[in-house]
Homo-oligomer: A and B are copies of this chain.
Amino acid sequence: AKTGAAHAKAPPGAIERTVFPDPTKAQGVGVGVDDGGYGFRSQFETEVRWRFGTKTTESSWSMTPLEKSQGIITPSGLHYERHHGGIATIDPTKHMLYIHGMVDEAKKFNMQDIRRFPFMSRICFLECSGNGLTEWIKPTLKTVQGTHGLTSTSEWTGVPLSTLLNEVGVKSGGKWLLAEGGDAAVMTRSIPLEKAMADCFLAYGQNGEAIRPEQGYPLRLVVPGYEGNMCIKWIRRIEISDTPFMTREETSKYTDLMPDGSALQFSFTMEAKSVITYPSGEMLLQRPGFYEITGLAWSGKGLVKKVEVSVDSGKNWREAKLHGPILPMCHTRFSIPWEWDGKEAILQSRCTDETGYVQPTIKELVAQRGTNGPLASIYHLNGIQSWKVAATGEVSNVHHY
């Protein structure tokens, strides 16, 4: 890549180039002249991941600017992050994956070994189950990046976990496996063996190149449709057992405390959800007239079957167009035309997945799980999002049931 000077004035991900008054009258930048053969985005584009202000930057998260999203693929540079010990920097020639426990033969695989197996690719979403945690009690963050930005979609490539488990031979009685990361948090989660065999895979590729460092380079477990935290990054070890390991991330965290004091554990599935990304919080509609409302819908249970949109506070719902490709456990782009009459309006979207599950209101979720105090019912907020369009055209985050 180019060194400092070229980057200095440009936004992240870009390099500064000369802007000529008439670009047809002066030669542009030659091939490979300033990018080293790996291109940058335009210097006129500025959206970035936004870090939530946790106490440390190493245990923190950053959110995808969904208000700028187009189609279904998230640019790898804008994929949301959640780390508990920072981004590990791992030399792939030294990385090793161990698989042991209740197996016929404990084995270790280096990255070369792993790449020799038959591979698979899958375009699917990841979502942190903490996505929306600020929104339980009242509308809090102002943009869709803040309310929903802990979900992103990539094309992941890797090895089916079933292939590797077949390689070591899971002993009868093996029911759970521990996935362990090679980062400073040595992050661990227990995964049901049944899910592991069904569709989990170890990804070394993301959007056509090596998986990005902050997504677990060189190897990440992908658990399609389940909470993002289970998709262990920088994975270095899998241990098979007869019971779950009851790690900190599946007891202290990622459990759902109910008003009666009991807590739901292993709430794995990211249930059907949708959100309007345009228009959304902090935008300004400049005039009444035609708008193509658009957003994303997804379900950890499979295909998005239907997205309905209301522009009148949930009184009437119209079915939105689903843009292809429509893939299971993947962001699906929807849109619907809207003639804005210039009066205050509440915009909402509601997703139905192939199981018939309908995205609930936040009120319905609160009725089931309680608010349980600020940030106590933290995870799995998949309620209907409401955006208010004021008569001025200003769009804001509201709660409206």
Contact = CB atoms under 8 A, between A and B. Distances in A.
A2 B58 CA distance: 18
A55 to B, nearest CB: 11
B323 A121 contact: yes
A395 to B, nearest CB: 16
B48 A36 contact: yes
Contacts of A40: 77, 212-213
Contacts of A17: 87, 89, 213
A143 to B, nearest CB: 14
Given A121-B323, A155-B73, A89 B212 contact: no
Nearest to A19: B89
A236 B58 CA distance: 46
A68 interface: yes
Range class of the A interface residue count: 35 or more
23 contacts: A1-B14, A3-B8, A12-B37, A19-B89, A20-B89, A24-B182, A25-B184, A29-B58, A30-B83, A32-B62, A37-B50, A42-B212, A44-B92, A44-B210, A44-B217, A45-B209, A45-B210, A70-B205, A70-B208, A70-B209, A71-B121, A119-B292, A325-B327
A26 B75 contact: no
A88 B208 contact: no
A74 B39 CA distance: 12
Give the secondary structure class of A's interface: loop
B12 A38 contact: yes
Given A1-B12, A71-B208, 9 more contacts: A13-B36, A28-B86, A28-B88, A31-B81, A44-B93, A70-B121, A119-B335, A324-B327, A325-B325
A207 B75 contact: yes
Contacts of A91: 19, 44
Interface in A41-93: 41-45, 47-51, 56-58, 60-62, 68-79, 81, 83, 85-93
A118 B75 contact: no
Contacts of A92: 42, 44
A232 to B, nearest CB: 13
B19 A70 contact: no
Contacts of A120: 323
Contacts of A25: 184
A129 to B, nearest CB: 18
Contacts of A186: 24
A4 to B, nearest CB: 3
A93 B44 CA distance: 9
A300 to B, nearest CB: 19
Contacts of A290: 116
Q: Count chain B CB atoms within 10 A of each CB in A74, A86, A333 and give the residue with the most.
A: A86
Q: Count chain B CB atoms within 10 A of each CB in A39, A60, A93 and give the residue with the most.
A: A39
B57 A48 contact: no
Contact of A12 (B13, B24, B36, B62): B36
A157 B45 CA distance: 16
A127 interface: no
A324 B122 CA distance: 8
A183 interface: yes
Contact of A207 (B1, B24, B207, B210): B207
Contact of A89 (B18, B56, B72, B156): B18
A54 B376 CA distance: 63
A242 interface: no
